[in-house]
Structure 1
Amino acid sequence: MANHKSSEKRARQTIKKTIRNRFYRTRLKNITRAVREAALANDSEAAAAALKVANKKIHEMVSRGFLKKQTASRKVSRLALLVNKIGA
Structure 2
Amino acid sequence: MPNKKSAKKRVLVTERNRIYNRFWKTRCKNAVKKLLEAVASKDLDLATKRLNEAQGVLDKAVVKGVVHRNTAARRKSNMAAKVKALSA
TM-score (norm 2): 0.96
Cα drift, residue 22 of structure 1: 1.1
Separation in structure 2 between the aligned mates of residue 18 and residue 79 of structure 1, nearest angstrom: 27
Unaligned regions of 5+ residues in structure 1, if any?
Answer: none
Moved over 4 A (4+): none
Q: Name the SS of the counterpart of 1:2 in structure 2.
A: coil
**Is 54-63 or 35-44 further displaced after alignment?**
54-63
1:9 aligns with 2:31: no
Match of 2:27 in 1: 27
Unaligned regions of 5+ residues in structure 2, if any?
Answer: none
Separation in structure 2 between the aligned mates of residue 14 and residue 55 of structure 1, nearest angstrom: 27
Write out per-residue CA displacement over residues 7-48 of structure 1, whole angstroms, 9 at most, x where no aligned residue: 001100111011011101110110000100000000000000
Separation in structure 1 between the aligned mates of residue 68 and residue 22 of structure 2, nearest angstrom: 16
Match of 1:55 in 2: 55
Matched residue pairs, number? 88
Write out per-residue CA displacement over residues 50-81 of structure 1, whole angstroms, 9 at most, x where no aligned residue: 00111111111111111111111100000001
Match of 2:86 in 1: 86
Separation in structure 2 between the aligned mates of residue 24 and residue 64 of structure 1, nearest angstrom: 9
Separation in structure 2 between the aligned mates of residue 53 and residue 63 of structure 1, nearest angstrom: 16
- The alignment-based identity, stated in percent, is 34
